[in-house]
Structure 1
Amino acid sequence: MNSITDKKVFIKPEFKQWTGSFKYRGAYNFISQLDRTSRNGVIAGSSGNHGIAVSSIAEKFGVNATLCIPKDAPREKLIKINKFNPRVILFDRQKQDRTTLTEEIAGRDSLHIIPSSDHEKIIAGTGTIGIEMLEEHDGLDVILIPVGGGGLASGVALAAHHMNPRVQVIGVEPEIGCDTKISLKANRITSILTPNTIADGLRHTQPGQLTFPIMKKHLDDVMTVTEEEILSAINFSHTKLGLKIEASSAVVIAALLYKKLPENIRKIGVVLSGSNYDHSLLYSGSIEAI
């Protein structure tokens, strides 16, 4: 990576985290603080990684978990979710709103909602990534991070700037799903249609109410990558780097490989957010452009 990019790249391997993604941090922070007398059960809407984390941690604490999962979620993620025996409710993300569905079921069954990103405990949990990165490499010029609902980006940016106000934090989104970039440009939360990006963990239609103002203040930039660039990056990561990451992680590798960053940036910390990938994506994209 250093040779190809002519930069010094440090990887934060959240794809090796428990349950295979950074989502474990926020979900654990949330569930571990629930009052034992009010643990009737929890519910979460998720495209996969958040659901895997919530179901795993709920089982650990003896809490019943209900998950609202889109029908088109990767099969590999559904298999991992079902290992922990939660109640799974499948929905059509093109016709049903995940938040509305989750709130309806939570109200009916008296369940605690665990947002995938838009909650202070989720943001605080993911912020530990930024702390760890700068404790290990305080001289980073940039932290490069995927942007979905904003829990990861806002938590890492907030923590990183608390420790070192000089470090830049740059987000990366799919070009066809750049709701955060559009919202920041418009200076307000702006919705888009559900994007059909291969980065399934980044198929958000708008940033969160809590995460957006944090990202507005603490993200130095948001750049985008194409679907072809993501495909190339995930295949390059698996075949050349030996990093078994998912497409949502690969957006930051794509930003590096396709030289989206300014030339003067030299020392880069890269957050690889998850490993729960769709096997059908492998080898379906060309790596010749790299």
Structure 2
Amino acid sequence: MQQTRLDTARIRMARRVIDPMFLDTPLYRCEALEPGLGCAVSIKLETANPVRSFKARGTELVASLLAGNGERAVVCASAGNLGQALAWSGRGRGLDVSVVASRFATAAKLDRIRALGAGLELVDGDHELARERAAAVARSEGIRLVEDSLDIETCEGAATIGLELVDSARQFDAVLIALGGGALATGVGHVLKSLAPEVEVICVQPLGAPALTLSWRARRVVTTDSADTIADGVAGRFPIPAVLDDLLLVADDAVLVREESIITGMRMLFDHAGLVVEPSAALGIAAILEDRDRFADRHVVTVVCGGNVDGDACRRWIGAAPL
């Protein structure tokens, strides 16, 4: 494999830095899902932790590095999950964490950021405007800006999920990974292509927020004027060139799925696996639903990447309140 920005040795070392509560997350075959999907399905569950997403694997590395260098403040833009994770990791290391988010972000995520003690600034726009504002705050205050997917720690933290998949010694044919900024896909993809190249790495993005998928297909950065999806955690419009370069090396395919398939995937995970997930975490199930023939008789792993969902929205989408 050609070289990505990631390094497998550093990824192994990352496990010594990340709080163990975020590591070795459950990986299990969910037979109850299989009749409706037509293939063997295993779940890699990244929601059973204090921030209910995989993001802390990366923020643990970032916060450890900053604290080790004597820095005391950090800022990021977030749709919600990165902000929670950075607030949690920073709080334990004495960092003053500021988060910039869209005021239209999921209320439950914003409330949790505040509860974890981070400063929260809201902007009247989408996540891309929040990124611009966070960069301005970093410049004016002379503090570290954490950029999800661009900062290698966020990718290599996520990549520890790939190590756990490989180290499980279980046989599977493909891994379905939610594609937003790209940290999860490039991290897990790097490990799989390095250590288990026979496994197909398939990235999944909503049809209403297709920028990085379109970029992967075109092999150049493609931006979009808007993002319209319930999967707010992956609703970026401006792919990062360095991330695209990595993705082109590790992804075997990138597919787009409809909103109704995402909602059906959420409902299936609730009904058959007892899981309350945010829309981004159901992208893998949505991909199977839309192309059953492709996955028939194969063993597929889907990374359930986050469980931060608004209660009212959850009831509208799947007819159930969060557990």
> Normalising by the residue count of structure 2, what TM-score does the alignment of the two structures yield?
0.84
Query: Does the alignment pair 1:132 with 2:160?
Result: no
Alignment check: 8 A CA contact 2:178 2:281 kept: yes
What is the CA distance between 1:263 and its match in structure 2?
4.2
Percent sequence identity is 26
> Residue 134 of structure 1 aligns to a residue in which SS?
helix
Q: Distance in 2 between matches of 1:95 and 1:53?
A: 17
| Cα displacement string for residues 57-94 of structure 1 (whole angstroms, at most 9, x for unaligned residues) | 11000100010011011111111111122111101224
> Normalising by the residue count of structure 1, what TM-score does the alignment of the two structures yield?
0.93
Query: Does the alignment pair 1:211 with 2:239?
Result: no
Alignment check: 8 A CA contact 2:232 2:280 kept: yes
| Cα displacement string for residues 233-268 of structure 1 (whole angstroms, at most 9, x for unaligned residues) | 212222332111111101112112333561456011
Alignment check: 8 A CA contact 1:70 1:92 kept: yes
What is the CA distance between 1:122 and its match in structure 2?
0.9
Q: Distance in 2 between matches of 1:152 and 1:174?
A: 16
- Distance 1:113-1:261 versus aligned 2 partners, 3 A rule: farther
- Distance 1:29-1:248 versus aligned 2 partners, 3 A rule: same
Question: Hey, what does 2:278 align to over in structure 1?
Answer: 246
Q: Distance in 1 between matches of 2:290 and 2:191?
A: 28
Q: Distance in 2 between matches of 1:247 and 1:106?
A: 30
Q: Distance in 2 between matches of 1:7 and 1:169?
A: 16
Question: Hey, what does 1:39 align to over in structure 2?
Answer: 71
| Cα displacement string for residues 162-216 of structure 1 (whole angstroms, at most 9, x for unaligned residues) | 1111111001100111111211222101111231210010110032232211111
Question: 1:6 is matched with which residue: 19, 38, 44?
Answer: 38
What is the CA distance between 1:160 and its match in structure 2?
1.1
The amino acid of 2:211's aligned partner reads D
Question: Hey, what does 2:227 align to over in structure 1?
Answer: 195
> Residue 19 of structure 1 aligns to a residue in which SS?
coil
> Residue 139 of structure 1 aligns to a residue in which SS?
coil
What is the CA distance between 1:43 and its match in structure 2?
0.4
Q: Distance in 1 between matches of 2:127 and 2:287?
A: 32
Q: Distance in 2 between matches of 1:138 and 1:216?
A: 26
Query: Does the alignment pair 1:23 with 2:68?
Result: no
Q: Distance in 2 between matches of 1:26 and 1:36?
A: 16
Unaligned segments of structure 1, at least 5 residues? none
Aligned length: 287
Question: 1:87 is matched with which residue: 106, 119, 124?
Answer: 119
Question: Hey, what does 1:234 align to over in structure 2?
Answer: 266
Q: Distance in 1 between matches of 2:193 and 2:39?
A: 22
- Distance 1:166-1:39 versus aligned 2 partners, 3 A rule: same
Q: Distance in 2 between matches of 1:262 and 1:125?
A: 30
Question: Hey, what does 2:288 align to over in structure 1?
Answer: 256
RMSD between superposed Cα atoms in Å: 1.9
Question: Hey, what does 2:94 align to over in structure 1?
Answer: 62
